[in-house]
Structure 1
Amino acid sequence: MKFARFAVISLLALCTAIAAAVLAPAAEAAPYSPAITVFLADGVTPVGQTQLHPGDVVVVKGTGFDPNANTDGLPVPVPTGVPHGTFVTFGKFDQDWRPSKGAPESARTTDRAQTKWAISDDALSRVPNAPFDMRRTVRVGSVPLHRNGTFTAKITLTTPKDVPANGRWGIYTFGAADSVNAAQELFVPVNYSTAPGPNTPAAAVRNIVWAYSPNFYSTFAKSAQGAVIGKNGASVSDGKLGYELTANTVRNGAGELRYTGTVVAYTRFHLYEIALTDPIIRINGTKAVVTLKTSTTDQNGTDGLRRISVADLTLTPAQVAKLGRGENVLGVPATFRGGVTPPLLGLLSGGPASPVNFVF
Structure 2
Amino acid sequence: MTFTLRSALPAAALAVVTAATAASAASADLPTVPDSLFGEVAEDPQISVTFEDGTPVTDSTVVHRGDVLLVHGTGFSTEANRGGFIMPIFPGVANGVYVLYSGFGDDWRPSEGAPGEARTHPHDQLAWVMPDSSLEALPGAPLDMRTPIARESQRMETDGSFTARIVVDPPAETPGDNFGVYVYPAAGSINATEELFIPLAFSDEPGANTPATPTSDLVLDASVLEQVATEAGGKLAPREGAQVLDDGRIAFSRVEGEDADGVVRYRGTVHATAKFSLADIVIKDPWITTAADGSRVLSAEISDGYNTSDDTVTRRDLGTLVESDGQTVLVQGPVTLGAVDIAQ
Q: TM-score of the superposition, structure 1-length normalised?
A: 0.73
For 1:222 and 1:47, locate their aligned partners in 2 and report how far apart those are by CA, in whole Å: 43
Change (3 A) 1:258 1:59: closer
Change (3 A) 1:282 1:40: closer
Aligned residue number for residue 198 of structure 2: 188
Shift in Å, 1:52: 1.3
In structure 2, list runs of 5 or more residues that go unmatched. 1-39
For 1:335 and 1:216, locate their aligned partners in 2 and report how far apart those are by CA, in whole Å: 19
Shift in Å, 1:294: 0.6
CA contact (8 A) 1:111 1:158 kept: no
For residue 341 of structure 2, what is the amino acid of its counterpart?
A: N
For residue 280 of structure 1, what is the amino acid of its counterpart?
A: W
Aligned residue number for residue 303 of structure 1: 311
Change (3 A) 1:40 1:185: same
For 2:69 and 2:79, locate their aligned partners in 1 and report how far apart those are by CA, in whole Å: 26
Aligned residue number for residue 280 of structure 1: 287
In structure 1, list runs of 5 or more residues that go unmatched. 1-28, 320-331, 338-351
Q: How many residues end up aligned between the 2 structures?
A: 299
Structure with bigger RCO (C-alpha 8 Å, 6+ apart): 2
Matched, 1:104 2:115: yes
For 2:316 and 2:182, locate their aligned partners in 1 and report how far apart those are by CA, in whole Å: 41
For residue 43 of structure 2, what is the amino acid of its counterpart?
A: Y
For 1:111 and 1:119, locate their aligned partners in 2 and report how far apart those are by CA, in whole Å: 18
% identical equivalent positions? 32
Which deviates more from structure 2 when the two are superposed, residues 284-293 or residues 299-308? 284-293
Matched, 1:220 2:225: no
Among 170, 174, 187, the alignment partner of 2:184 is 174
- SS state of the match for residue 83, structure 1? coil
Q: How does 1:158-173 map to 2 (within 5 A)?
A: 158-164=169-175, 166-173=176-183
- Which of the pair has more CA radius of gyration? 1
Matched, 1:294 2:305: no
What RMSD, in angstroms, separates the aligned Cα atoms of the two structures?
Answer: 3.0
Shift in Å, 1:333: 5.0
Aligned residue number for residue 212 of structure 2: 202
CA contact (8 A) 2:236 2:270 kept: no
Among 258, 261, 266, the alignment partner of 2:268 is 261
CA contact (8 A) 2:138 2:145 kept: yes
Among 85, 88, 91, the alignment partner of 1:80 is 91
For 2:289 and 2:52, locate their aligned partners in 1 and report how far apart those are by CA, in whole Å: 43
For 1:104 and 1:72, locate their aligned partners in 2 and report how far apart those are by CA, in whole Å: 17
Among 56, 78, 82, the alignment partner of 1:67 is 78
Q: How does 1:24-103 map to 2 (within 5 A)?
A: 31-103=42-114
CA contact (8 A) 1:286 1:316 kept: no
For residue 243 of structure 1, what is the amino acid of its counterpart?
A: F
For residue 239 of structure 2, what is the amino acid of its counterpart?
A: G
Among 233, 242, 248, the alignment partner of 1:234 is 242
Shift in Å, 1:354: 7.0
- SS state of the match for residue 89, structure 1? strand
For 1:135 and 1:199, locate their aligned partners in 2 and report how far apart those are by CA, in whole Å: 31
